[in-house]
């Protein structure tokens, strides 16, 4: 759930969002960031090709009508403490994390002035979006890497610190397309009392206050272990299958919402 009830919103995208057609998800991010008056900053920290990816998203956001679009490249040491980067984020109404490798985001931004400013902007009302790796880093604890198409095992996933815009939640992306249910189950068994969100490609959850809504062409799989009745994680080796009873599973396509406080899905009106 959101930390300390920030005024901002999160747009958490499962990767492979439409960038050439209607661009529903990116268009909604732009709208919530201020429309044509938005000031959008693209963070390419996750990418191994930051110049190319940055230019691609500049073109997309300009095509969607945004006049003020900039890129912050944090590939070099101390880039995330540079006064110019800090100033750009402090003035942004929308901040977009690209895809790539989520560990790169943490290495380059965690513990910097830029991280502090990102949290302040979120608290004050900015919209923060992330796709693929940029989605994975949203919670306090994130999936660093893991196996797809696997049964739940303790060694199927590696966890680590995320950016901390959400608490007691873990996010996985490319969910249905890469068969990641076992990976997400492994993550929530390693991080008890968290809610698992598996977001399909070209699908997003928009977090506002204590709820999120789903948009896009796929679905969001919610794995809720808050009422589990049994697991054997203390009695199996890391490479052995894990038993777990009583987990709740919800599937939410576009128009559905979910309340973090009540742990209840909400059908479309």
The per-residue pLDDT for range 226-256, each reduced to its tens digit, is 999 999 999 999 999 999 999 999 999 999 9
| 181-232 confidence digits (pLDDT tens) | 999 999 999 998 899 999 999 999 999 999 999 999 999 999 999 999 999 9
* Percent of the chain scoring above 90 in pLDDT: 96
Closest residue by Cα to residue 29 from 71, 57, 56: 57
Q: Which residue has the tokens 């956001």?
A: 61
Task: Provide φ and ψ at 38, rounded to 5°.
Answer: -65, 150
Q: Which amino acids are annotated catalytic?
A: 132, 174, 201
Split at pLDDT 50, 70, 90, the class of 130 is very high
Q: Which domains does the chain have, with CATH numbers?
A: 9-261 (3.40.50.880)
* C-alpha to C-alpha distance for 38 and 40, rounded to whole angstroms: 6
Q: Do 154 and 236 touch, CB atoms closer than 8 A?
A: yes
Strands 39-43 and 203-208: unpaired
CA 115 – CA 128 distance, rounded (Å) = 12
Taking CA atoms, 219 is separated from 10, 174, 204, 222, 256, in Å, by: 17, 11, 8, 10, 9
pLDDT band at 269 (very low <50, low <70, confident <90, very high): confident
Asked if residue 2 has pLDDT above 70, the reply is no
């Amino acid at each position: 759930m959101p930390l300390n009830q920030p005024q901002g919103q999160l747009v958490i995208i499962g990767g492979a969002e439409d960038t050439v057609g209607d661009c529903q998800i990116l268009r909604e991010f732009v709208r919530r960031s201020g429309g044509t008056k938005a000031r959008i900053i693209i963070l390419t920290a996750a990418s191994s090709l930051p110049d190319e990816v940055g230019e691609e998203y500049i073109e997309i956001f300009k095509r969607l009508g945004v006049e003020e679009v900039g890129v912050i490249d944090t590939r070099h040491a101390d880039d995330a403490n540079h006064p110019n980067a800090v100033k750009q984020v402090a003035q942004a109404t929308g901040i977009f994390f690209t895809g790539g490798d989520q560990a790169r985001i943490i290495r380059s931004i965690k513990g910097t002035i830029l991280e502090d400013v990102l949290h302040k902007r979120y608290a004050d009302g900015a919209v923060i979006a992330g796709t693929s790796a940029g989605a994975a880093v949203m919670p306090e604890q994130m999936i660093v890497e893991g196996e797809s198409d696997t049964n739940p095992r303790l060694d199927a996933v590696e966890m680590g610190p995320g950016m901390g815009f959400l608490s007691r939640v873990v996010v996985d992306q490319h969910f249905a397309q890469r068969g990641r249910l076992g990976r997400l189950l492994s993550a929530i068994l390693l991080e008890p009392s968290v809610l698992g969100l598996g977001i399909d490609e070209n699908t997003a959850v928009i977090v506002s206050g204590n709820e999120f809504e789903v948009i896009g062409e796929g679905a969001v799989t919610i794995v809720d272990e808050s009422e589990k009745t049994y697991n054997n994680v203390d009695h199996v080796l890391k490479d052995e299958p894990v038993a777990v009873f009583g987990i709740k599973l919800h599937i939410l396509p576009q128009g559905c919402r979910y309340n973090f406080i009540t742990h209840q899905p909400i059908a479309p009106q």
